[in-house]
Amino acid sequence: MSHQVKNRALKMYADAHIALSSDEIENMEFADFGLGRIEKEGLILVVYENNDRYCSKEMVLLPGMTCPEHRHPDHDGQIGKQETFRCRQGQVYLYVEGKPTDNIQASIPEGSKDYYTIRHEIVLYPGEQYTIKPNTLHWFQAGAEGAIVSEFSSPSDDSTDIFTDPNIVR
């Protein structure tokens, strides 16, 4: 992770008036999914809480940054993660299972077209939210200004997420 990426994320949080503690800044997560191109396919996260009952995160997506297609399956006798995304700043193109949108607004990352299979588009603007049910394929991308998304969910277990792209390592 480059210092430039971290500084851009911190500036976006500051511009949105989202205060972070020094511990949150130190423990900020930079997920490039093992692809090595975080500014195209990745996520920048601050995890506020993740316990056996619920999870709360703040995610920054730089302009055009995409979280790859994945789902949260049932595991170990537990129902998969259900999550609500609330757009705080910018614009988010969210894709979930459903009737495909004719002309999606997102740009699928170069070389990854085969791994973005769903096209039902939901556009989130600041103050809007959408809940993704467990085991639902989804992916999302920031608009031209980037985006900040709050996630409220059942417990998060990244190691059980299933990605469409077999090259992804989580």
Backbone angles phi, psi at 47, to 5 degrees: -95, 115
pLDDT at 2: 75
CA nearest to 44, candidates 12, 85, 84, 81:
12
- Residue 133 above 60 pLDDT? yes
CA nearest to 61, candidates 95, 81, 31:
31
- Write out pLDDT tens, residues 77-114: 889 999 999 999 999 999 999 999 999 999 999 999 99
Ordered domains of the chain (ranges, CATH): 3-163 (2.60.120.10)
Whether the model pTM is above 0.85: yes
Judge residue 16's burial from the number of C-beta atoms within 10 Å of its C-beta, 0-12 exposed, 13-18 middle, 19 or more buried: middle
